[in-house]
């Protein structure tokens, strides 16, 4: 049974498996409940000796019966999962006693834990914040290694206990073998709204998502928020050209923040399967701490600083031209130009034609087939097979392709080295196998 939000709990006596507890003042709010300081008034001999204890009560409105049942299941699941994990994963705030172990007929839902302080990043140096984020990362890494995901990582769920950072609020915990995920319905939104990864905007079929990658996204956003003592976070991917989110080494007073840039870029990608894993993130934090601590060779430090400056220059200083050599990039650019450009082929300085681009397909590697409108045959479609070494997008907005010589397969398709002969042939498909410059000119 859940407590109604209007119920007064101060002064209550709650009986658990290991003791009887007197509820004192309220000290905080959890994701789906309230937290109070308590005093042990009977028993408690087998409990770990702490400076103070707290109880978290499940508190929901009783008006929506379906919502109450769902929250109860989540709360009970949180208790069982934390008790299962707390002795094998470092940095999980432990549960010492709970209503699920009691014989109380009322079955008000609660659990007992040690009192821990809310984490206040502003009270710590940049070095200490990074050390705390390393501790958090290592805890998440241990969770992930056994198939679990937290799904609600945020500064509000971080606590300091025994001079270490602890992670709390496991109400949305998930594991890869979860059979009870129906308590999170398809229309539910999971995790903190301000920094919620795309796949948690609406929880669909759990078989479609590896929520450990959602933790990676949330970990990166939490790290950024802790570094900047910013409780709002930021939406979408981390991009170095977004000045409002850029991690500035000068503001943090460190020699280079390149490991943090790498972490943020790799961990906040829109598609969850493209993100780094938590182990990679933890390694980047270790690298950053080595830089802050001066525990790094001059050669390694110089490499990080070089990477940071090159990456910053690449996105902030306009280049004379951009060169694309990957076949996937070439194909995407060419297909985006279909219907908008014509091709002018240049051989030994002489220009041939203006051939409207109709279709592009990659055959293999950097070998493509290009469908053009051929003016030599009343604009009929002609397929040209040729290989590209690159596409160059220049500062003056012109775009050119460089072809190269390629070892074609053995299909019976005529091969030409002279452009004009290939275009004037009656064949519907030809191969060009030489080095040409190909200009893309807009249709007018």
pLDDT above 90 (res 117): yes
- Report the range out of 3-7, 78-82, 141-145, 238-242 with the highest average pLDDT: 141-145
pLDDT above 80 (res 88): yes
Distance (Å, whole) CA 428 – CA 407: 21
| Phi, psi dihedrals of residue 63, rounded to the nearest 5° | -70, -35
Q: In Å, how far from its chain's centre is CA 71?
A: 27
pLDDT above 50 (res 185): no
Burial annotation 175-184 (CB, 10 A radius, 16+ → b, else e): beebeeeeeb
Comparing 153-162, 191-200, 261-270, the range with the smallest average pLDDT is 191-200
Looking only at Cα atoms, what is the longest distance across the chain?
A: 99
Average pLDDT over every residue of 382-398: 91
Distance (Å, whole) CA 297 – CA 290: 9
Give the pLDDT band of residue 187 (cuts 50, 70, 90): very low
Task: Give the residue carrying structure tokens 């073998």.
Answer: 177
Task: Please give the pLDDT value at position 190.
Answer: 57
Comparing 37-51, 95-109, 183-197, the range with the smallest average pLDDT is 183-197
Give the pLDDT band of residue 183 (cuts 50, 70, 90): very low
Residue range 284-311, pLDDT digits in tens: 999 999 999 999 999 999 999 999 998 9
Helical axes 278-293 vs 211-228, angle rounded to 10°: 20
Average pLDDT over every residue of 329-337: 91
Between 4 and 224, where is the model more confident?
224
Alpha helical stretches, state H, 53-163: 65-85, 126-145
- Report the range out of 59-73, 134-148, 187-201 with the highest average pLDDT: 134-148
Burial annotation 95-109 (CB, 10 A radius, 16+ → b, else e): bbbbbbebeeeeebb
Is 51 marked as binding a ligand? no
Task: Please give the pLDDT value at position 65.
Answer: 72
Give the pLDDT band of residue 270 (cuts 50, 70, 90): very high
Give the pLDDT band of residue 233 (cuts 50, 70, 90): very high
Mean pLDDT for the chain overall? 89
Between 186 and 190, where is the model more confident?
190
Task: Please give the pLDDT value at position 201.
Answer: 77
Task: Please give the pLDDT value at position 202.
Answer: 61
C-alpha torsion 385→390→392→398, nearest 10: -10
Q: What is the DSSP string of 182-194?
A: GGS-TT---S-ST
Distance (Å, whole) CA 252 – CA 130: 11
Distance between first and last Cα of the chain: 73
Give the pLDDT band of residue 181 (cuts 50, 70, 90): low
Comparing 16-20, 31-35, 48-52, the range with the smallest average pLDDT is 31-35
Between 86 and 5, where is the model more confident?
86
Give the pLDDT band of residue 339 (cuts 50, 70, 90): confident
* Pairing of the two strands 341-347 and 437-442: antiparallel
pLDDT above 70 (res 206): no
């Amino acid at each position: 049974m859940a407590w109604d939000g209007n119920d007064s709990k101060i002064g209550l006596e709650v009986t658990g498996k290991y003791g009887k507890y007197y509820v004192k003042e309220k000290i905080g709010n959890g994701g789906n409940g309230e937290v109070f300081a308590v005093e042990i008034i009977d028993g408690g001999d087998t409990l770990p000796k702490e400076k103070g204890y707290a109880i978290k009560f499940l508190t929901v409105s009783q008006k929506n019966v379906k919502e109450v049942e769902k929250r109860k299941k989540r709360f009970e699941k949180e208790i069982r999962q934390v008790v299962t994990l707390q002795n094998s994963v470092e940095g999980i705030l432990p549960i010492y006693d709970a209503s699920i172990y009691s014989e109380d007929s009322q079955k008000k839902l609660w659990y007992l834990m040690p009192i821990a302080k809310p984490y206040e990043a502003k009270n710590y140096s940049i070095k200490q914040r990074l050390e705390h984020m390393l501790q958090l990362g290592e805890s998440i890494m241990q969770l992930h290694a056994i198939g679990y995901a937290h799904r609600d990582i945020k500064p509000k769920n971080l606590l300091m206990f025994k001079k270490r950072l602890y992670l709390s609020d496991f109400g949305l915990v998930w594991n890869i073998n979860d059979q009870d995920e129906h308590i999170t319905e398809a229309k539910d939104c999971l995790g903190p709204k301000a920094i919620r990864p795309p796949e948690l905007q609406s929880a669909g079929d759990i078989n479609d998502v590896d929520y450990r990658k959602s933790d990676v996204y949330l970990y990166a956003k939490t790290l950024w928020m802790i570094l900047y003592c910013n409780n709002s976070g930021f939406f979408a991917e981390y991009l170095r050209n977004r000045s409002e989110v850029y991690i500035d080494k000068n503001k943090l007073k460190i020699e280079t923040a390149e490991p943090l840039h790498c972490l943020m870029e790799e961990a906040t990608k829109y598609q969850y399967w493209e993100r780094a894993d938590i182990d990679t993130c933890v390694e980047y934090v270790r690298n950053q701490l080595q830089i802050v601590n001066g525990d790094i060779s001059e050669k390694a430090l110089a490499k990080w600083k070089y990477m940071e400056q090159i990456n910053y220059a690449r996105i902030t200083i306009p280049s004379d031209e951009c060169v694309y050599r990957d076949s996937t990039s070439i194909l995407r650019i060419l297909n985006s130009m279909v219907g908008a450009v014509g091709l002018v082929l240049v051989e030994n300085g002489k220009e041939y034609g203006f051939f409207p681009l109709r279709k592009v397909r990659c055959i293999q590697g950097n070998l493509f087939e290009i469908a053009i409108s051929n003016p030599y045959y009343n604009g009929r479609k002609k397929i040209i097979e040729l290989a590209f070494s690159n596409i160059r997008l220049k500062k003056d907005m012109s775009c050119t392709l460089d072809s190269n010589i390629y070892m074609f397969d053995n299909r019976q398709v005529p091969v030409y080295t002279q452009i004009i002969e290939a275009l004037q042939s009656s064949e519907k498909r030809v191969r060009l196998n030489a080095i040409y410059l190909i200009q893309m000119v807009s249709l007018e």
